[in-house]
Homo-oligomer: A and B are copies of this chain.
Amino acid sequence: MIITTVKELREYLGAQRTSGKSIGFVPTMGFLHEGHLSLIRRAKAENDTVVVSDFVNPTQFAPNEDFESYPRNIERDEQLATGAGADVVFYPSAEEIYPRGSSTFVEVAGDITRVLCGASRPAHFKGVTTVVAILFNIVQPRRAYFGQKDAQQAAILIKMVADLYMDIELIVCPIVREEDGLAMSSRNTYLSATERAQAVILNKALREGQAAFEKGEDNVEKLIRQITGKINEAPLACIDYVSIYAYPSLKTIETVSDKALAAVAVRFGKTRLIDNIILEK
């Protein structure tokens, strides 16, 4: 079932809540793939009613980014989401989420939003935290599900929920990958055949970094150098960043002593891909 307005969704969820049903929520930008479906299945296993939002949020795209071309297919999304256990697909217009004159923002300040993707996408996470706060207030779920693929987003949202005392449990689920290791992403559809073949280098390089770490290398600079070198073996790869930070604080470290996030962003032509792996002793 597709619902497009806040009013209808609230009526539906109000009735669910009155009859004691727990609500699980999976916010997405649509064009669902196996990664999203794994979140929906988990949400259905842990809650009575599952809401999937399907909203390409304009405020998290910069003017030069791919908001217009971002892939969309609501009919297919509804089929896939329902098949995975969703009870409702919430598919609002931009005007429904941001009515005329809307000017309230939720922002997580500090390094956590400045490093990694925050460096090249300065307004991105403010758009993410604002839309997620709005969606949380509309859906009022008991649990919400996010993918580890967007590790920085997950860390920021965990912080937002804690700092603002939102009464919601966030659950971060593992990255789902193609057979060759490429992390699933709606943006993978942008890749040409040659780019697609080379894109596997992100995961390969991260796994090599992890292997080196497991053999005893804990120097962040050396690990970054190794991952960078591997990615550069792919002729079309243009690195945005290769970074290692403490996880989930995203604080700067020189040595991996506890839990750390190794994360990469790499462009292939116009397509920007991200991937990451957790290093843990």
Interface residues of A (CB under 8 A from B): 6, 10, 99, 102-110, 112, 129, 133-134, 137-138, 140, 159-160, 162-167
A118 to chain B, nearest CB (A): 13
Q: Does A164 contact B133, Cβ atoms closer than 8 Å? A: yes
Asked if residues A159 and B109 are in contact (CB atoms below 8 Å), the reply is no
Q: How far is the CB of A55 from chain B (nearest CB, A)?
A: 13
How many Å lie between the Cα of A103 and that of B104 in the bound state?
17
Which of the listed residues A103, A106, A162, A165 has the most CB atoms from chain B within 10 Å of its own CB? A165
* A165 pairs with B134, CB closer than 8 A: yes
Q: Which residues of the other chain, B, contact A104 by a CB distance below 8 angstroms? A: 106-109, 129, 159-160, 163-164
Query: Chain B nearest CB: distance from A59 CB in Å?
Result: 12
* 15 A-B pairs whose Cβ atoms sit less than 8 Å apart in the complex: A10-B167, A103-B109, A103-B110, A103-B112, A103-B159, A104-B106, A104-B107, A104-B108, A106-B106, A107-B107, A133-B164, A137-B164, A137-B166, A138-B165, A140-B167
> Across the interface, which residues of B come within 8 angstroms of A166, CB to CB?
137
Contacts A137-B165, A165-B137; A105 near B103 (Cβ below 8 A)? no
In the A-B complex, list the 4 residue pairs whose CB atoms are closest, starting with the nearest.
A104-B163, A103-B109, A103-B110, A137-B165
